[in-house]
Each structure stands twice: as structure tokens, then as C-alpha cells.
Amino acid sequence: MTSPIDPSVFAQLEDLEDPDDPGFVDEMVDMFQAETPEILTRIANALTEGDAYGVQAPAHKLKATSGLIGAMTMSGVAGQIEVAAREGQLTGIAPMLTELGTEYLRVCDHLAKTSERSALAA
């Protein structure tokens, strides 16, 4: 199974880290992990209510934030949800939302393992 994080994209994020003020990458990852469950819930609630814009807006945000940390599969699925919602095609979104949740767990697991390895190497 391929990595849920594209290492080249994550490396670009790490390149933004200021050596004199470390912690940017950790903050971005922490924010992603803290906000994503709420975003997934907002999408699910909007989907239940038949609110296409309520699905589209958080899916757009999730597409961007997951792409920023290199979670490209997650970003792609969020983008598919965004497009479907924009086109008013809510009926096919539920399975994509399930896939998005599963992929989120894979990303978090990968980030935790990467963090553990980094801590051991320090």
C-alpha cells in the first residue's frame, strides 16, 4: 500500500520551516488533525440535510488543507466531493465521505509513525 502522504509535498512544507523559529510544520499537522474531524462532521450533516453548499465549502477547505500536508489521495477525494456538491449531485457523496474518513485515519497513522521516528532520531 502506498504512503498516504506524498513525501515530496511534505518536504516542501518542511522547507518553509524557519530554523530560528521551529514548529511551523508541527502546527500545520496539529491543526489538520484537530480540524478535520469537525470538517468531516460538517460535510456529513450537510449531506443529511441535502445542503449542497454546506457540503461544498468544507470539502473545498479539506481539499486545500490535506493537499498542503501532502495527503494527495485525501485531497483528491475531497475535491471530488466538492465538484459533486457544486453540481448538486449529492447522491454519490456518501461513499466518498466514507473513503475520506478512512483515508484521514491512514494519514493520521502515518503522521504519528513519522513523528515517533523523528523523535527517536533526535
Tens digit of each residue's pLDDT (9 = 90 or more) over 81-121: 999 999 999 999 999 999 999 999 999 999 998 875 555 44
Asked if pLDDT for residue 16 goes beyond 80, the answer is yes
Number of other CB atoms surrounding residue 66 within 10 Å: 27
- Whether residue 82 lies inside any domain: the answer is yes
Banded model confidence at residue 20, pLDDT cuts 50, 70, 90: confident
- Whether residue 11 lies inside any domain: the answer is no
pLDDT at position 1, please?
67
| Torsion sign over Cα 18, 19, 24, 29 | positive
- Cα–Cα dist 63/61, whole Å: 5
Degrees (nearest 5) of the Cα angle 58, 63, 65? 95
pTM: 0.90
Asked if pLDDT for residue 41 goes beyond 90, the answer is yes
- Whether residue 20 lies inside any domain: the answer is no
Residue pair 111/5 in contact (Cβ under 8 Å)? The answer is yes
CATH number at residue 72: 1.20.120.160
- Whether residue 110 lies inside any domain: the answer is yes
Kindly give, in sequence order, each residue whose CB lies less than 8 Å from that of residue 77, ignoring residues fewer than 6 positions away: 96, 99, 100, 103
pLDDT at position 23, please?
85
**Mean of the per-residue pLDDT values of the chain:** 91
Residue pair 59/78 in contact (Cβ under 8 Å)? The answer is yes
Domain count, the chain: 1
- Cα–Cα dist 87/53, whole Å: 10
pLDDT at position 116, please?
59
Domain of residue 74 covers 25-121
Grid coordinates of 50: 441535502
